[in-house]
Amino acid sequence: MNSGQKEVAPKPAAKIVAWATKTWVGAGAGLRVFKSSANRRLVGWLVVWVVVVGVLRVTLAAPEVCPEYSPGDGQAGIEAASNWIVNNQSAAGRYLYHYDQRIGGPRPGYNLVRHAGATMALYQLAIAHSAQQTQPPNGQRNSQRNSQRHSQPEVLQAADKGITYLLERGLPTYNGGLAPALSPSGPAKTGTAALTLVSLAHRRIATKDTAYDPEMRALGRFLVGQQLPDGGMANFWDPHTNAVVPEIRSRFATGEAAWGLALLHEAFPEEGWDEPTWAIMDYLATQRDSLEELWPPPWPDQWAAYGLAEMVEWGLAQHHLDYAQSLAGRFSQMIRWDSQREGLAKATHLPMPRGGGYGTILEGLGALEWLWANEPRLGEHQSAITQRLRCGAARLIEAQASDGAWYYHQQTRVDDQQHAVSALLMADFEFNLGGNKP
């Protein structure tokens, strides 16, 4: 080395190329062609591709691990999770919202939208119980399921307590609407009203009781008042001004409102509730992701999937079907990614989402499976959707704790159980719903 010059260590990539060239060239006279600089670059690229393939092997191309799953296998998980919701409900109808194992008790705070979602899941389960009672018995599995679960009247009683809690907090709005809010000072959220409407619609299906029809219409009027000119939904209503807060939207509330209004139209088909529903669905299918800057598109919106399934016999347009196909691809990709999180791939895949997060994926794909089964224009791929759903359902069941809950960092919320119950119901929609819509 010349005096005053600093020795520079070869870069790691250069070391790899030099080692590979020396090894392969020295292997025999037939490999001497690799002594040229051009061919050394070729060897370097080959090494890079080997590394790339290795990375893919533990990321995008990692093998899937899907436990076996058959129709009915989710029943014990459904009942355990619903028992957690029902057994932890107060006499006033309020659910245990946030439980922390580290302190052995609840955390402060409450979320009325998630309360409405938990109530909705209980009414979904009541519909499933009704459908299962009309099915022929399935041997030991049916006997075990029936011995572990709350009866339909108990589930309905808990759901009715939950709906009473919501309606007692309903605020009258300028257009004759009803807006449940946690506090009289508000604000009221569009999502709370939408899921309260979904809950009442499901109650009507499960019980044939029309006592809450006026409240359903009032909730619908509130939702229509929250609709923006482009078909999207404002997220808040301010009781102080008795007005919409138009500048704030929600990635959740728009799909929730679409489903609620679709169910309202199904209950009262002569009253025009389909018009605002179509406007929302057009917005979701063509504008929402770009206007609200949700990336990557499509936003995995299980509420929109429920709405599409509800509207299947309305005559969906091609852009709605295209949207459904893109949603199905997104949900399927998310389940596939989670199923690859085994072995070495655990280092490259994030932990499994909490029960609520993973449950929404299965809910969405389950609603779309129902759409595929009833929309001839979609045709193929239903079997692939079914397989992906069963893989996700089996993995969700494996993650359930012995008390029926799904814990994330030793904490669980009521919506973890809510979405998981709905997800496992939707993963077996033929078995659980007996021909009823999601």
pLDDT digits (tens, 9 = 90+) for 263-275: 999 999 999 999 9
User: In the prediction, which pLDDT does 343 show?
Assistant: 64
Residues 46 and 90 in one domain: no
pLDDT greater than 60 at residue 95: yes
Answer yes or no: is 67 within a domain. no
Rounded to 5°, angle at Cα 307 from 304 and 311 = 140
Using CA atoms, how far apart are residues 218 and 179, in angstroms rounded to an integer?
Answer: 8
Residues 328 and 214 in one domain: yes
SS3 211: coil
End-to-end CA distance of the chain: 77
pLDDT tier for residue 406 given thresholds of 50, 70 and 90: very high
pLDDT greater than 60 at residue 29: no
262 versus 50: which is more confidently predicted? Answer: 262
SS3 179: strand
Residues 145 and 213 in one domain: yes
Using CA atoms, how far apart are residues 424 and 145, in angstroms rounded to an integer?
Answer: 14
CA–centroid distance for 336 within its chain: 14
Which of 145, 111, 181 minimizes the C-alpha distance to 416? 111
User: In the prediction, which pLDDT does 135 show?
Assistant: 56
Residues 320 and 268 in one domain: yes
DSSP code at position 187: P
Which of 152, 161, 149, 30 minimizes the C-alpha distance to 92? 161
What is the C-alpha R_g of the chain? 27
Residues 53 and 191 in one domain: no
141 Cβ partners below 8 Å, 6+ apart? 72, 75
Which of 288, 271, 270 minimizes the C-alpha distance to 279? 288
Using CA atoms, how far apart are residues 292 and 234, in angstroms rounded to an integer?
Answer: 12
pLDDT tier for residue 190 given thresholds of 50, 70 and 90: very high
Contact present, 235 and 249 (Cβ < 8 Å): yes
Answer yes or no: is 68 within a domain. no
* Amino acid at residue number 371: L
* Number of C-beta neighbours around residue 254 at 10 A: 31
Residues 113 and 174 in one domain: yes
Which of 199, 140, 150, 210 minimizes the C-alpha distance to 170? 199
pLDDT greater than 90 at residue 246: yes
Answer yes or no: is 69 within a domain. no
User: In the prediction, which pLDDT does 136 show?
Assistant: 52
Which of 153-157, 174-178, 188-192, 353-357 is the least confident region?
A: 353-357
Using CA atoms, how far apart are residues 63 and 59, in angstroms rounded to an integer?
Answer: 9
171 Cβ partners below 8 Å, 6+ apart? 178, 179, 180, 181, 184, 186, 188, 239
Residues 53 and 79 in one domain: no
Residues 311 and 204 in one domain: yes
| Positive/negative CA dihedral, 309, 367, 120, 337 | negative
pLDDT tier for residue 430 given thresholds of 50, 70 and 90: confident
Contact present, 154 and 86 (Cβ < 8 Å): yes
Answer yes or no: is 150 within a domain. yes
Residues 95 and 49 in one domain: no
H runs (alpha helix) in 251-354: 253-267, 274-286, 288-291, 302-310, 318-339
| Structural domain containing residue 124 | 75-433
Residue bearing tokens 């590394």 = 51
153 versus 76: which is more confidently predicted? Answer: 76
42 Cβ partners below 8 Å, 6+ apart? 34
Residues 338 and 369 in one domain: yes
Q: How far is CA 297 from CA 180, 231, 293, 294, 321, in A?
A: 31, 19, 9, 6, 15
Q: What is the CATH number of the domain that holds 381?
A: 1.50.10.20
Contact present, 340 and 63 (Cβ < 8 Å): yes
pLDDT tier for residue 28 given thresholds of 50, 70 and 90: very low
Residues 140 and 288 in one domain: yes
pLDDT tier for residue 221 given thresholds of 50, 70 and 90: very high
Instruction: Provide the domain count of the chain.
Output: 2
Share of residues in the chain with pLDDT > 70 (%): 78
297 Cβ partners below 8 Å, 6+ apart? 289, 290, 326
Using CA atoms, how far apart are residues 204 and 122, in angstroms rounded to an integer?
Answer: 13
Answer yes or no: is 62 within a domain. no
Q: How far is CA 168 from CA 43, 65, 183, in A?
A: 73, 47, 11
Residues 197 and 319 in one domain: yes
Using CA atoms, how far apart are residues 162 and 434, in angstroms rounded to an integer?
Answer: 25
Answer yes or no: is 37 within a domain. yes
pTM: 0.84
Answer yes or no: is 3 within a domain. no
Answer yes or no: is 438 within a domain. no
